[in-house]
Structure 1
Amino acid sequence: MKFIQEFKTFAFKGNVIDLAVGVIIGAAFGKIVSSLVEDVITPLLLNPALDAVGAKNIAQLSWHGVTYGNFLSAVISFLCIALVLFWLIKIANKVVKPAETDEEVATTITKDQELLMEIRDLLRNRNSGL
């Protein structure tokens, strides 16, 4: 019975559920980015560049039986996805309100902190008078 209770506590902690939601949203976002790269960026940018150098299908490039075209295709795909993610994150950071800086947090003083500072100052003044 204790095992079940421990498992329930572990499985339904906020961190585990937050992680599961993050993975699901990440997978969906990955599909969006892949579609953007494959369906928009590749036809607009990569295909004309490949046509210009005479390499219609990059994946079929080979040299003495070594099909380096697959590797080259994977590298180009990675670079395109990384570039798109960089752009999307850059745009998202501009849209989302920036978090408070350390200086803004430091200038926000609660009533308790204010009272503690007054007590500290009173004690300091009392000790310096001795």
Structure 2
Amino acid sequence: MSFFKEFREFATKGNVMDLAVGVIIGAAFGKIVDSVVNDLIMPVVGILFKADFTNLYLPLSSKVTMGLTLAEAKKLGPVFAWGSFVTAVINFLILAFVIFLLVKAMNRLKRKTEAPPPPPPPGPTPTEQLLMEIRDALKK
């Protein structure tokens, strides 16, 4: 079998296509979550805690002074941008929570659409029970 034929078989399998679609949808969903976090949630967090995490940094060079925006400070020299890290951690936590809620909702829908488990088999009828007792008595 040629290399290209093998590759074509691999690439056209359903699992590979499902994975590709999942990655593309995941990337688009990541952009939506970034927008929700940066444009909707972080401003509220900033108002509630009187903080704006995006411009918090520590200068690592004498050329950089405090009071500048992070972009301006990076142009002057190296900075320890811990505010960006805090924002990324908050983004991750929110994303993980949203994914948890989605998976929980999908599991709930899946449970509703699944057939109920079959009922346990009925016990022996009175006649069968009597026959089993007779059998056991004959064995003794």
Question: Considering the TM-score relative to the shorter chain, is it more than 0.5?
Answer: yes
RMSD over aligned Cα atoms: 3.2
After superposition, the C-alpha distances for 1:76-107 in whole angstroms (9 at most, x for unaligned) are 2322332333344444544x342537x62xx2
**Is structure 2 residue 7 aligned with structure 1 residue 7?**
yes
CA distance in 2 between partners of 1:67 and 1:31 (Å)? 22
Q: State the TM-score, normalized to the length of structure 2.
A: 0.53
Per the alignment, residue 124 of structure 1 pairs with: none
SS in 2 for 1:79: helix
SS in 2 for 1:7: helix
After superposition, the C-alpha distances for 1:20-74 in whole angstroms (9 at most, x for unaligned) are 1111111111122222222222223x121231xxx33454243887543333232
**Equivalent in 68, 72, 77 of residue 86 of structure 2:** 72
CA distance in 1 between partners of 2:2 and 2:81 (Å)? 57
**Is structure 2 residue 49 aligned with structure 1 residue 50?**
yes
Per the alignment, residue 96 of structure 2 pairs with: 82
CA distance in 2 between partners of 1:2 and 1:67 (Å)? 52
Check 1:92–1:42 CA distance in 2 against 1; reply closer, same or farther (3 A cut).
farther
CA distance in 2 between partners of 1:72 and 1:36 (Å)? 16
CA distance in 2 between partners of 1:9 and 1:47 (Å)? 52
Structure 2 unaligned blocks of 5 or more: 61-78, 120-134, 136-140
The alignment covers a number of residue pairs equal to 101
CA distance in 2 between partners of 1:66 and 1:59 (Å)? 11
More helix by share: 1
Larger Rg: 2
Give me the identity figure in percent.
47
CA distance in 1 between partners of 2:82 and 2:24 (Å)? 34
CA distance in 2 between partners of 1:77 and 1:67 (Å)? 16
Per the alignment, residue 124 of structure 2 pairs with: none
Check 1:85–1:48 CA distance in 2 against 1; reply closer, same or farther (3 A cut).
farther
SS in 2 for 1:43: helix
Per the alignment, residue 28 of structure 1 pairs with: 28
> CA contact under 8 A between 1:58 and 1:73: conserved in structure 2?
yes
